[in-house]
Structure 1
Amino acid sequence: MKFLPLGLAALIAAPAAASDWQLDPEASSVEFVTEAFGRDVTGSFSNFEADIRLDPADLANARIEGRVDVESGDTGNPQYNSEMTGGDGLDAENHPFAVFTSTNVRPASDCAEGEGDCYRADGMLTLRDAEQPAALLFRLLISGNRAVADGELEIARDDFGVGAGNWGSAARSVRVQLHIEASR
């Protein structure tokens, strides 16, 4: 089962009369980019899920909730993985999920280049039991019963108590990049 991380997963929803969007986990991805020790560190989460209700004609009723299984994070480097998911990092043993829940979805104009209309989902992101406001910018393209969303969420790890031990300046800012495909 794939858990959609940090809020992007919940980017798409259907009109009230239609069914909610169903995540296609095989076509979707949750990736991240940060910097540690002077070089870029990239990775992904393999387990995520989302509850998505989004109709561009009825944004007042839109709701996006994404959950990421933080233990599924992989940088391709076992030492980084251990630090990321361990007690000083995301603390997967005690806080297994990162959760984004939207409180408001609205049209926006500051998305990255791409296909589809630009939206901003404001909401709350929970990591390690710390909850902070977060904004997910995404582009959404709906064609019939298929939706594709690409977006980003910027996280300041210090806001969530991640890396409070000995991380220093490593990974202070993490950009979560979402590619979500769903059908109804």
Structure 2
Amino acid sequence: MTTTEQVPGYTVGTWDIDPVHSAIEFSVRHMGVGKSRGRFQSFRGEIVTAENPLESSVTATIDTNSVDTGNADRDAHLANPDFLDSENHPTATFRSTAIRADGDDYVIEGEFTLHGVTRTIALETELGGITEEGVLGLSAETTLNRTDFGVGPDGGAMVGEKVKLTIEVEAQLRS
């Protein structure tokens, strides 16, 4: 069992995700041979660290209209009803339901809602550390099947169904 003594600098409290020093990025196969990459520019969230680290929680909200692939035409296509449908589904949300130790790392399980569909996902998470100045860092990743969330066409050769999410977070301890 993970204890606070096993996490150097561990502090109980509420941490606000710093969007300037954090990133939510994705990659997906394109035409079956390459990968297209992008990120969401606007998001917010918090981490609540509990006395027992495994009883902590994470929540996050992503502005789906902030998708950025470096190509304005592709971004507009991803935001339209063919994919994210940002007008009708302006946010994607995550709410943790459980945290478990996995060796030196963690798995954060939770409910992810995208395109109006909620599924349970597992984020493989590495705690980067906690500073004396009240900054917490972590990295997480998971792979989703976009069709499980009703996003994009089924089985299309142009865009793969598996989407890898990579998350880098720095959070500030709320005073």
- TM category (shorter chain) comes to 0.7 to 0.9
Task: Report the structure number with the largest CA radius of gyration.
Answer: 2
CA drift of 1:48 comes to 0.4
Amino acid at match of 2:36: V
Aligned letter for 2:148? D
1: CA distance, partners of 2:78 / 2:49: 32
Matches within 5 A, 1:4-23: 15=12, 19-23=13-17
**1:28, distance to aligned residue in structure 2 (A):** 0.8
Picking from 126, 134, 138, the partner of 2:125 is: 138
Equivalent residue, structure 1, for 2:5:
none
Instruction: Say if 2:110 is the partner of 1:123.
Output: yes
Amino acid at match of 1:126: T
Match of 1:42 among 33, 37, 42: 37
The structural deviation recorded for 1:146 is 1.6
Task: Describe the SS at the equivalent of 2:77.
Answer: helix
Structure 1 residue 31 displacement after superposition: 0.9
Partner of 2:4: none
Question: Could you say what the CA RMSD is over the residues aligned between the two structures, in angstroms?
Answer: 1.9
Q: TM-score, normalised by structure 2?
A: 0.84
CA shift for structure 1 position 165: 7.0
Contact 1:14 / 1:20 at 8 angstroms: preserved in 2? no
Which of 11, 17, 27 matches 2:21?
27
Partner of 1:79: 73
Task: Describe the SS at the equivalent of 2:147.
Answer: helix
The partner residue of 1:107 within 98, 101, 104 is: 101
Distance 1:158 1:133, change over 3 A: same
Aligned residues of 2:154 and 2:161 also touching (Cα < 8 A): no
What's 1:6 paired with?
Answer: none
CA distance in 2, matches of 1:131, 1:26: 27
Percent identity between matched residues is: 29
Please tell me the residue identity of whatever aligns with 2:53: L
1:92 aligns with 2:86: yes
Structure 1 unaligned blocks of 5 or more: 1-12, 110-116
Q: Which secondary structure state, in structure 2, belongs to the residue aligned with residue 26 of structure 1?
A: helix
Code of the residue aligned with 1:28 in structure 2: it is S
Matched, 1:53 2:48: yes
Q: Distance in 1 between matches of 2:145 and 2:59?
A: 20
SS at match of 1:88: coil
Q: How many Å apart are 1:167 and its aligned residue? A: 4.3
Match of 1:63 among 57, 68, 75: 57
Between the aligned partners of 2:160 and 2:74, the Cα distance in structure 1 is: 11
- 2:159 maps to a residue whose letter is A
Shift of residue 85, structure 1, vs aligned partner? 1.2
Q: Cα offset for 1:182? A: 1.1
